[in-house]
Amino acid sequence: MSLAEIKGRIDKAATSAGRSANDICLIAVSKVQPNARVESVLNEGHRSFGENRVQEAASKWPDFRKSYDSIDLHIIGPLQSNKVRQAMSLAQSIHTLDRPKMAQAVARIAQEDGHCPDLFVQVNIGEEPQKAGILPTEADAFIVQARALDLPIKGLMCIPPVDEEPALHFALLGKIAARNGLNGLSMGMSSDFETAIALGATHIRVGSAIFGDRVPG
């Protein structure tokens, strides 16, 4: 599907939710996509992109930045502790703040560097054992803790269980954000971004619907 078609769908979903499409950031998830596909989206003027691996982001985006201005890079995948510093220097936003130890590491590096990307707390919204993220019942306390470290928490992020109705999970994420005074909601992917927009998403992470199927390797 073309970028223009996706934007059309975003406009439509925003309008029917009584929202402005300008309040929704489309993150084009470019992981594992050939550079030519990414460049064609850059050439259409799009600037917000998402990567889930730091190594891959580091191999692509510093080069793209030489040719394209104002790239807005989002790290959306789990971060090992030894990758936090690199992620913070590469990206404008990190969507996967998912544990107290990482919050402490980010705070320490931010102090040293005098700079911190925007942060989203990943919530394990379906309480799935194999998934990263703060449990919904622990989110309020974690947000308090992160704020005490002066971290710039912009919002919450979730990946709902694949085999469940995403709307209930999106609604819960919105509730947790609202009661903590957070505006940012990073939720919704290729298959469910319209539902996410209806439930308040401010950042949608769309990969295959824009770029086509991911080509492995």
Ligand X SMILES: *Cc1c(COP(=O)(O)O)cnc(C)c1O
Q: In angstroms, rounded to a whole number, what is the distance separating the alpha carbons of residues 102 and 104?
A: 5
**Considering the rule CB under 6 A, would residue 53 count as an interface residue with ligand X?**
no
131 CB neighbour count, 10 Å cutoff: 17
For the segment 142-161, give every residue that binds ligand X (CB under 6 A). Answer: 159
Least separation in angstroms between CB 204 and ligand X: 9
For residue 69, give both structure tokens: 């201005």
Among 4-12, 144-152, 177-185, 202-210, the segment contacting ligand X (CB under 6 A): 202-210
In the complex, which residue's CB is closest to ligand X? Answer: 207
Among 18-26, 55-63, 106-114, 201-209, the segment contacting ligand X (CB under 6 A): 201-209
Number of H helices, E strands in the chain: 9, 8
**Considering the rule CB under 6 A, would residue 7 count as an interface residue with ligand X?**
no
**Considering the rule CB under 6 A, would residue 30 count as an interface residue with ligand X?**
no
Among 12-20, 111-119, 169-177, 199-207, the segment contacting ligand X (CB under 6 A): 199-207
**Considering the rule CB under 6 A, would residue 52 count as an interface residue with ligand X?**
yes
Least separation in angstroms between CB 164 and ligand X: 15
Residues 113, 88: contact at Cβ < 8 Å? yes
Residues 29, 206: contact at Cβ < 8 Å? yes
Find the helix or strand (DSSP H, E) in which 205 lies: strand 203-206
How long a stretch of residues is the chain?
217
**Considering the rule CB under 6 A, would residue 190 count as an interface residue with ligand X?**
yes
Phi, psi of 178, deg, nearest 5 = -60, -45
**Considering the rule CB under 6 A, would residue 97 count as an interface residue with ligand X?**
no
Least separation in angstroms between CB 163 and ligand X: 14
Toward ligand X, which CB reaches closer, 136 or 203? 203
Q: Which long-range contacts (CB under 8 A, 24 or more apart) does 128-131 make?
A: 128/161, 131/159
**Considering the rule CB under 6 A, would residue 180 count as an interface residue with ligand X?**
no
Find the helix or strand (DSSP H, E) in which 155 lies: strand 153-157
Least separation in angstroms between CB 111 and ligand X: 28
Contacts with 147 (C-beta within 8 Å, 6 or more apart), sequence order = 153
Q: In angstroms, rounded to a whole number, what is the distance separating the alpha carbons of residues 70 and 211?
A: 21
Least separation in angstroms between CB 193 and ligand X: 8
Please identify which residue in 155, 160, 174, 207 interacts with ligand X, judged by CB under 6 A: 207
Residues engaged in binding ligand X (CB under 6 A) = 29, 31, 52, 76-77, 159, 189-190, 205-209
